[in-house]
């Protein structure tokens, strides 16, 4: 370790061998690298943070235990900043002067516990050995904060490689922002986020992290921070707290993608609608689509009882479904809190998808509010449709995302509903909706189209629109509707001739 501090009280504790002292606090940023933010499908406007206990620190050459009964231990190589002088309400230009050293860190996380501590990460990232740091300290005065590089190898293969140039939140900004809320004290550590490439490791894997400054004089480096993954033998005690649990969403995020996790592609990708087909649906009125579906024997395809907040906005997308069941106290206690189905659905909705909620027509509570509307909007969702109520109605309307609902209600979800599951077949407004169904909405209402029929139906609806427009023009000229609407043989012949077609037999 290259410092001027000499001995310190924690010299005898090998966990802190990569630091000048035991840190009073470790603060980690959730997202800062554009590559990671794009992988997660969201770019936050401001940094957000979580705390890690100093007892999670480990030195290079140590090991991390994957607890018994878990599967999703993931590495995150990061640049660690070590505070040298106290920082309280410092400016961005002055912030870097309060950083004494830079080194490598690995912000390990156990995704099996992530849902239980959503946001706080107390258990999922606070375990013993979950924050290796070191092995050498780089003098922060010798490097530029936007010219650092972080790389990670797993079993010798390069897994992460990025630089601090172009961060969403530059390193001095993180220090300045934190200092306006609390005092950063000497020895505190700030973990500055991880780039894309983080993934799952298993017992026997060896993870190495290095931070360096290739363009600085002497190309200073932290050296490689080495951690070996081992298998734990002691299971968690469910009588004391929540047990590990995983689902495909957590697997995909831990591994970095559904493909890397060995999962099939999403069953309802937004890409199911080609740009050309989406453009056709944008032009086709819901009334016309309804008419064509009726001709094909499909009458029960309208989501009834819902009205739009923005009647002038057209909605086209594929369904992402969410199901609520009637409120019951014991079930809400087990399914209503934490990272429940409602939150997972709004975190998972993709660009061009529509969140469709089964609320059983129950209007005596809200089924979403402004925060979830903002989340769906940030994810690029096409709309939200619920046959229940909306809370914070005006704030939701101000978000700008199209919303269809059964009306406004001030009560919270838990008054009438339990968030139960997502991506299942549901009933909304009297019609069945399956994940991947095509949903189209306008001022007339909302219709659900089976994917296999979309192209046929929209082409027929647009053709009918052209015909109706021609008929309307003739009526405007003074012709009576009898024989014209619908067209008899004579009018049909005139229509076909006007459009350069052979008369319909």
Annotation: binding site for substrate: 369-372, 391
Q: Which residues pair with 428 in a beta bridge?
A: 431
Gap between the Cα atoms of 91 and 132, Å rounded = 30
Gap between the Cα atoms of 125 and 140, Å rounded = 26
Q: Which residues pair with 66 in a beta bridge?
A: 231
Half-sphere exposure of 355 (CA within 13 A, CB side): 37
> Token pair 């090991």 is at which residue?
63
Compute the residue count for the chain: 505
Q: Residue 268 gets which letter from DSSP? A: S
Gap between the Cα atoms of 43 and 35, Å rounded = 10
Q: Which residues pair with 427 in a beta bridge?
A: 432
Gap between the Cα atoms of 2 and 504, Å rounded = 89
State in Å, rounded, how far the first CA of the chain is from the last one. Answer: 91
Torsion sign across C-alpha atoms 443, 444, 445, 447: negative
Closest among 8, 49, 48 to 28, alpha carbons compared: 49
> Token pair 């001995």 is at which residue?
7
276 sits in which H/E element: helix 275-283
Residue 354 has φ and ψ, to the nearest 5°, of -120, 125
Question: Cβ contacts of residue 157 below 8 Å, gap of 6+?
Answer: none
Q: Which residues are annotated as a binding site for Mg(2+)?
A: 392
Closest among 404, 380, 428 to 270, alpha carbons compared: 380
Residue 316 three-state SS: strand
| Under 8 Å between Cβ of 385 and 439 | yes
| Residues 358, 359, 361, 362, Cα dihedral to 10° | 180
Closest among 401, 443, 457 to 281, alpha carbons compared: 457
Gap between the Cα atoms of 242 and 244, Å rounded = 7
Question: Cβ contacts of residue 139 below 8 Å, gap of 6+?
Answer: 2, 100, 101, 220
Q: Which residues are annotated as a binding site?
A: 369-372, 391-392
Determine how many CB atoms are found less than 10 A away from the CB of residue 314. 19
């Amino acid at each position: 370790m290259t410092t001027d501090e000499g001995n310190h009280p924690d010299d005898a504790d090998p966990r802190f061998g990569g630091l000048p002292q035991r840190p009073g606090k470790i603060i980690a940023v959730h997202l800062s690298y554009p590559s990671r933010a794009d992988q997660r499908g969201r770019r936050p406007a401001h940094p957000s943070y979580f705390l890690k206990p100093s007892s999670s620190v480990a030195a290079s050459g140590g090991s991390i235990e994957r607890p018994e009964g878990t599967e999703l231990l993931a590495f995150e190589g990061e640049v660690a900043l070590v505070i040298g002088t106290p920082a309280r309400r410092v400016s961005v230009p002055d912030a870097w002067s309060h950083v004494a050293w830079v080194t490598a860190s690995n912000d390990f996380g156990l995704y099996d516990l992530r849902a239980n501590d959503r946001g706080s990460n107390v258990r999922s990232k606070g375990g013993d050995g979950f924050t290796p740091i070191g092995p050498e300290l780089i003098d922060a005065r010798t490097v530029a904060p936007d010219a650092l590089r972080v790389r990670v190898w797993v079993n010798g293969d390069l897994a992460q490689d990025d630089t601090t140039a172009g961060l969403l939140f530059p390193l001095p900004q993180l220090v300045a922002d934190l200092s306006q809320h609390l005092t950063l004290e000497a020895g505190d550590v700030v973990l500055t986020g991880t780039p894309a490439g983080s993934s799952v490791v298993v017992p026997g894997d060896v993870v190495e992290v290095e931070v360096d400054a290739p363009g600085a004089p002497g190309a200073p480096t932290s050296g490689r921070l080495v951690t070996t993954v081992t298998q734990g033998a002691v299971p968690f005690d469910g009588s004391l707290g929540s047990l590990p649990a995983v689902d495909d969403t957590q697997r995909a995020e831990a591994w970095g993608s559904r493909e890397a996790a060995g999962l099939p592609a999403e069953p309802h990708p937004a890409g199911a609608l080609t740009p050309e087909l989406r453009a056709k649906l944008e032009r086709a009125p819901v009334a016309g689509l309804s008419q064509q579906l009726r001709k094909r024997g499909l009458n029960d395809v309208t989501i009834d009882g819902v009205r739009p907040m923005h009647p002038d906005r057209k909605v086209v997308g594929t369904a992402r479904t969410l199901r609520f069941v009637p409120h019951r106290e014991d079930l809400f206690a087990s399914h209503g809190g934490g990272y429940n189905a409602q939150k997972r659905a709004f975190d998972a909705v993709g660009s061009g998808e529509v969140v469709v909620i089964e609320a059983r027509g129950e209007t005596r509570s809200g089924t979403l509010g402004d925060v979830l509307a903002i989340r769906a909007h940030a994810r690029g969702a096409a709309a939200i449709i619920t046959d229940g109520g909306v809370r914070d109605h005006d704030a939701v309307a101000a978000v700008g995302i199209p919303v269809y609902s059964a009306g406004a209600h001030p009560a919270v979800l838990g008054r009438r509903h339990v968030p139960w599951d997502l991506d299942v077949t549901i009933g909304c407004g009297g019609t069945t909706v399956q994940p991947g169904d095509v949903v189209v909405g306008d001022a007339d209402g909302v219709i659900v189209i089976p994917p296999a029929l979309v192209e046929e139906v929209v082409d027929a609806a647009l053709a009918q629109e052209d015909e109706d427009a021609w008929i309307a023009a003739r009526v405007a000229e003074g012709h009576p509707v009898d024989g014209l609407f619908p067209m008899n043989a004579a009018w049909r012949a005139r229509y076909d001739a006007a459009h350069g077609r052979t008369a319909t037999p």
